[in-house]
């Protein structure tokens, strides 16, 4: 996992001079969660070192925005707030105009649409910002519920694990059914091997999920942070439906290849786009496993085709 110091150095402009005061301000800022107004950061810094001026803190905030360490957000309060980017994925906001609370979420379906529009207009986009204003559920119902917050990174990891677990369960069902339907002995062994690997990895993912909840039992109660219109586990569900309709050994392998290729591409594509975080690591680890399964299925498919050719050749002789 990238450290805070490595994160800062990675974003420090080439040739930029180091500053002890600036580094101190950045370190204090990165320790905070949520969205800070400039004056709130001034109070935090001056509480630890009263010698640092307000002007220095303001300049450092702007430097952090320019360097990609901080993001500037406008919640319609008449002032900007700032949130850090360290282990904090890009996201959008729902903003309640009654209580002024903000709620974060991430959707790459929205980001993909923004990129599609920008590309169509030949527009070089640097940042996408979406803020949806309205009324939260508590204000709609008149409840004065106390809001319990959780670090965005923890919610991101929770949802990444949920997607990976759902995908693994769907894959386990697919390979179990494929093993039962396949007549070729070698193909059946491959499907059983993959089913066992899916079962083993599912157990590990579920254990990681339990560990995450043990660190913060309130995580389960928080709304979904990571949204995907069509998550990867849908690929295996579609593959299982194809097997139910009937498939021979060759077709079963081809369906498996299609599922694994789609799953690998899904997790690799989005894992590469995530910023450094536990959620990113979960996606890329899963992408690597799906790539191994894909390679195994492709090899077995080629072997099956060669065996079938050999049988046909022997019959002709």
Contact 278, 156 (CB under 8 A): yes
Three-state DSSP class for 37? strand
pTM recorded for the entire structure: 0.77
> Hey, where are the domains in the chain?
1-86, 87-147, 152-316
Distance of alpha carbon 170 from alpha carbon 89, whole angstroms: 27
Per the structure block, which two tokens stand in for 161?
């694990």
pLDDT at residue 11 in the model? 65
- Compute the distance between CA of residue 164 and CA of residue 193 in angstroms, rounded to an integer: 19
255 neighbors 242 (Cβ within 8 angstroms): yes
**Bridge partners for 36 per DSSP:** 82
Percent of the chain beyond pLDDT 90?
32
What's the pLDDT score for residue 117?
Answer: 93
pLDDT digits 0-9 by tens, 91-127: 888 988 888 788 888 887 888 888 899 999 999 877 6
Q: Compute the distance between CA of residue 242 and CA of residue 240 in angstroms, rounded to an integer.
A: 5
What is the CATH topology of the domain spanning 152-316?
Ferritin (1.20.1260)
- Residue, of 301 and 89, whose pLDDT is higher: 301
Per-residue pLDDT, averaged over 75-94, amounts to 78
- As a whole number of Å, the CA-based R_g of the chain is 25
Q: Record the tokens describing residue 151, joined without a space.
A: 């670090």
Cβ contact 282:164 at 8 Å: yes
> Distance (Å, rounded) from C-alpha 45 to C-alpha 43?
6
C-beta of residue 87 within 8 angstroms of C-beta of residue 10: no
**1-5, 63-67, 124-128, 185-189: least confident range:** 1-5
Task: Report d(CA 128, CA 63) in Å as an integer.
Answer: 20
pLDDT tens-digit series, residues 6-31: 666 666 655 556 678 888 888 888 88
3-state class percentages of the chain: helix first, strand second, coil last, to nearest 5: 65, 10, 25
Q: Which CATH architecture does the domain made up of 1-86 adopt? A: Orthogonal Bundle (1.10)
Q: What CATH number does the domain located at 87-147 have?
A: 3.30.1490.190
Distance between CA atoms of 233 and 208, rounded to whole angstroms? 19
């Amino acid at each position: 996992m990238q450290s805070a110091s490595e994160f800062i150095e990675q974003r420090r402009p080439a040739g930029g001079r180091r500053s002890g005061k600036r580094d101190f301000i950045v370190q204090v800022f990165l320790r905070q969660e949520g969205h800070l107004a400039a004056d709130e950061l001034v109070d935090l810094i001056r509480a630890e070192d009263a010698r640092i001026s307000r002007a220095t803190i303001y300049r450092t905030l702007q430097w952090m925005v320019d360097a990609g360490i901080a993001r500037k957000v406008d919640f319609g309060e008449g002032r900007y707030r700032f949130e850090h980017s360290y282990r904090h994925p890009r996201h959008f906001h729902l903003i309640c105009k009654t209580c002024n609370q903000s709620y974060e979420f991430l959707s790459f379906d929205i980001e993909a649409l923004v990129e599609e529009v920008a590309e169509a207009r030949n527009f070089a986009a640097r940042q996408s910002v979406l803020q949806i204003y309205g009324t939260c559920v508590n204000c709609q119902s008149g409840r004065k519920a106390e809001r319990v917050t959780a670090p965005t990174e923890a919610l991101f990891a929770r949802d990444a694990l949920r997607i990976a677990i759902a995908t693994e369960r769907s894959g386990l069902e697919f390979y179990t059914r494929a093993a039962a339907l396949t007549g070729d002995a070698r193909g059946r062994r491959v499907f059983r091997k993959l089913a066992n690997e899916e079962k083993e990895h599912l157990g590990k993912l579920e254990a990681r999920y339990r560990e995450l909840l043990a660190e913060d039992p309130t995580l389960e109660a928080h709304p979904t942070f990571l949204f995907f219109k069509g998550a990867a586990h849908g690929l295996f569900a579609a593959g299982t439906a194809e097997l139910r309709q009937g498939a021979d050994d060759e077709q079963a392998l081809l369906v498996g290849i299609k599922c694994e290729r789609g799953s690998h591409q899904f997790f690799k594509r989005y894992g590469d786009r995530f910023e450094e975080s536990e959620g990113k690591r979960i996606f890329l680890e899963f992408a690597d496993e799906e790539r191994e399964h894909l390679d195994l299925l492709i090899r077995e498919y080629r072997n099956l085709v060669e065996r079938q050719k050999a049988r046909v050749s022997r019959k002709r002789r």
